[in-house]
Structure formats: C-alpha cells, structure tokens
Chain A
Amino acid sequence: MLDALWLTLKLATVSTLWLLLLGTPLAWWLARRRSLLSTLVEAVVALPLVLPPTVLGFYLLIAFAPQSGLAQAWQALTGSRLAFSFSALVMGSVLYSLPFVVQPLQAAFRQVPASLLEAAATLGAGPLDRWRSLVLPLCRPSFLAAASLGFAHTVGEFGVVLMIGGNIPGETQVLSIALYDRVEALDFAAAHQLAAGLVLFSLVTLFLLYRSSGRWSVRT
C-alpha cells in the first residue's frame, strides 16, 4: 500500500511538472490568439472534462500498443516498452489533467492588461522580460491554483489508468487502482483505509489551495 502511495505522489508530481511545462505556453497562446485553430485547440484541450475517462484510455491503449508507431518510436528512443509503463501513465495523466491547468492559466493571462505590457515595453522590457517581470508575478496565484488542481486531479484519476496502466504494483498500481483492487478482493478494511486516506488528502489539498490563494484571478 505504501508502494501505491509513493507511486501516486510520484505520478502526480511528474505529471504536474509536465502539465506546467506544456500548459503554460499553450494557455498563453490560447489567451492571446483568437482564431479558428485556437478555438479548435481549446475544445480539444477541454475534451477530458466531458468525455468518460475510458474513452481517452481506450484511444491511448491503442496508441501505446507495441505495434503502434508511437510505441515503436518510444522503444527505439528509450529502449523500453511503452505499454503498461510509468511513462505511459504520465502521458495519459497529462492529457487527462490538461484542462485543469490550461483553463485557470488562460483565464489569468487574459486578465493581464495589454496596457501594462505596453508600458513595460516603452520602459525597455523585451517580450521575455515582460513575461518574467510582469505576467509571472501577476499570475502567481493562478499558477499555484493550476498546479494544485493538476496535482490533485492526477491523484484522483482512475479510468484512464485502469485502461492503459494495468495493475502492476510499484509500476502502475496507483492508489485509486489499489482501492479498486481491494474492493474486488473483498478486503474492505484496506479499502476503507485507502478511501479515507484519499478523501483526507483531497480535502487538505483543496483547503490549503483555497486558503493560500483566496482568489485565482490576477492581482490588480
């Protein structure tokens, strides 16, 4: 069970880092552009909000299958298989939790006034400098919110992992799967511990999040 806890935290941490890395530029682009393409991308990013996780899991399962192009490229690049691996779980989690990171960031970026960015430019700040010295500090609460939501949502993930991860202890058996496993085995005592642990964890995360940021908007 400690294995499952450790694995869950590791998966959530690694996924959150990737989510911030990919989600930030994506959110910035979505916040600044208004085109047919950006609207389409926005819709695709939001898909996991409405689709049953099993749908995403099903397509990922096919994409990760050993004979698929992606899996073979992965195999050639890393020398290890993709299906039922930790890396596959990370990929699935990142896709699944993307809207929870992109949406708060996008909303925050939209609220950064263009007028302030103009003022910074006339004071000698180039594009990257403006981003670092203005956008980042103004949106700090939203970054915290996005990271926490991404993390917590990954911890709470079940359907996608079930489809693509299998149930390999120490490799893909995260807490939610472990709980399912215990229930299947009618081991209700262990199931209780896991379920209560997850409830407590989620509650603490959300409580800290709400308390620290107060609001998730841009500071003005």
Chain B
Amino acid sequence: MSEVGLDITLARGDFSLSVDTVLPDGAVTGIYGASGSGKTSLLSCIAGLLRGEPGNAVRVGADRLEGEGEWLPPEARGVAYVFQDARLFPHLDVAGNLDFALRRRRRPGPGLAEVSEWLGITGLLTRRAGDLSRGQQQRVAIARALLSGPRLVLMDEPLANIDVSGRRDILTRLARVRRELSVPMIYVSHDMAELAELADHLLVLEEGRLVAEGPLLELSSQLELALSHQEQAAAVLRAQVAEHDPDYGLSRLLFEGETLWVNQLELPPGTSLRLRLPARDISLCRERPSQTSILNLLPVRVTGIEPGQDSRVLVQLAVGRQRLLARITRKSLDALELAVGDDIVAQVKSVALLNDSRDD
C-alpha cells in the first residue's frame, strides 16, 4: 500500500501552486505541464526542498512526511530526486557517488549490482563524474537515487539535456526499473511522448493548478484538454501482438478486435503493448477505400468534433472502448459532412510503438 497523498499549496509572489490529489498505488504518475506551470515547485515541496504553506500534507502509503504540524526535512523523507542536471558529486567517482546514497539509506532497497545492471553503468564505476557524457551522468544519477532506498522517486525532466539516442536508451532502462521496482514514481515532463512511454496516471498542471488527472490512456484522447490540441497530439492505446508475417517483415497487432500492421516485432504473440497514434497521421474516409497503399484501416465511430486553432479540427473516434484522435481540415470536415455518431473509416499512416512487454 503506497498510494501518494498530496495536498500542497505554495505562494511565491505572483505564482501560486495548489494541488490536492491522491496518486494511485503502484503507478508511475506523469506530471505534464508547460514550463512555468509549477511542476518543479511541486516536486520541491514533495521532497521538502521548498516549504509550502502551513497545512500542507505529503503522505506515502501510511508514512506521513508532512502535515498535522509535522514537517520532515528532505534528508528524513526518503524521497529520492532525479534532477534535470545530474548533480553528481564532482570530488567522487561513480562508485563514490553510489556509495554516498547506499551508506545513508534507512530502508531496504535494491542492491548495487542490480541497479548498476538496470542502468548499464557497471563499466563506469571507477570513472570520475566529470568524464562522463550527459546521458551517462544521468544514468548514474538515477542509480544513485534508487540506491538511497526511497519510498518515492521523483524525476524532474531527467531527459531534458540528453541527445535523442541517449533518451531512447534511458527510457528503455526506466521501463525496466519500473517493472523491477515497486516504488511509486512521479515523472515530470513537458513532452507527452516521453510520458506516454512511462506513465500510467497523468496529472496535467496549468499555471499551478491541476486541470486534469486520470489514467493516461484516457486523458491522451480527451478533446477538451489543451494537450490534445498540440501539434504533436496523439492518442495512446493498448494492443496485443497477434502474429508475425516474416515474408513482409510485418507484425499484426490486435486492437479492440481490429487489425493493425506494424514493422515486425521481436515479441511473442499475446504480448501487450502501448501504441501512440499521432492525430496528424490519421485521415478519415466515408467508405473503406478499395485501393490504397495504407495498410491500416480501422472502422471507427465519431464521438466528438472540436474546432482547433486555424483551419483544422480535431475529431475524436471510438474503436471499441478506446479512443483515437484525428486532425483534419475544416474543409474536409464539411466535404465529408461528418457528425457525431457517424460510422466511418480511419486510415492510420503511422504507429509509434512505446515500451514493449508491459503487462498491464
């Protein structure tokens, strides 16, 4: 039982932060928000690095870290923090940095060998922090945080300063950590693609206020949320591997009883995985086209239409119990005479596979 209870208010000049919620047990919670929305302030309050207003409360499972007149300093909270900059100690080598956390930990946690393997830093132990690439530094910082035996792990845009290939690597490793470790995690980012890989639960923060919270798969396709209206808006969906077609180098996924073809995967049939379907890569047809190069055609029902900025509209589509988003021009909308409740066909031009072998 380690749900995380938060009731945090912070006032700093013009800025005010107010978040009152309970994060579900055993989940990675993503916090999404633009810069200045209060994400980092929120994490600082949870970690005890910032002291908010009296009456704030922070609870992990049954352990109260703050509230009812109590306020634990950061060193007594057992809340590990992975910062945007790795913040390795420059006078120590990698092993020394990890040992710093190990020697001070007060509750059981994963061992050095284990954590080093998860993060791929076994070969770096004797290196100085300053000799590492940014990606390596951040991997060491994550390992150091996990070795402190935390009740809760906070990650504040840990990939912000890292190049694309380094990001891919760390995301895969974090997915592994997530599977191996049953510690609640809060992951802050302004990048939905990143959150879609890791988070189960999502909080959306705008100007210090919680504007939406819920399972990420549901929130990603909600029309009224600003995040659906971004250029990169995408629905996050769940599918299973059905079979492989080595002749064409493709795999067939089963998605609410429908078929989706993707490049061949090295996953056994039956594996559950997450997909990300960008709204701009979905086009709509009244009838199933008889001749098209697009492999993935899904029968869908229109469940919502929302005008966007400029010439385009966002259409929400239902396939079984899951929802897609499509961004089309207003001109197309009128030409197709689309209305809520219509049964139409969606052409899917691209599917992004998120971290694999998830068992949710």
Contacts and interface: CB of A to CB of B under 8 A. Distances in A.
A153 B80 CA distance: 46
A78 interface: no
Interface string A111-154: 00001101111111110010001100110000000000000000
Interface string B229-263: 00000000000000000000000000000000000
B87 A115 contact: yes
Chain A interface, >50% SS class: helix
B270 to A, nearest CB: 41
B36 interface: no
Interface string B100-120: 110011100000000000000
Band of interface residues on B = 20 to 34
A119 B87 contact: yes
B137 to A, nearest CB: 12
Contacts of A125: 75, 100, 104
A32 interface: no
A138 B91 CA distance: 7
A192 interface: no
Contacts of A122: 47, 49, 74-75, 77, 79-81, 145, 148
B89 to A, nearest CB: 6
Contacts of B101: 123-124
A215 interface: no
Contacts of A123: 75, 80, 100-101, 104, 144-145, 148
Interface in B29-68: 47-49
A123 B130 CA distance: 20
A133 to B, nearest CB: 7
Contacts of B71: none
A220 B77 CA distance: 28
Interface of B: 47-49, 73-81, 83, 85, 87, 89-91, 100-101, 104-106, 130, 144-145, 148
Given A121-B75, A122-B81, A124-B75, 17 more contacts: A115-B87, A119-B89, A120-B89, A121-B74, A122-B49, A122-B75, A123-B80, A124-B148, A125-B100, A125-B104, A126-B76, A129-B104, A133-B100, A137-B91, A219-B90, A219-B91, A220-B90
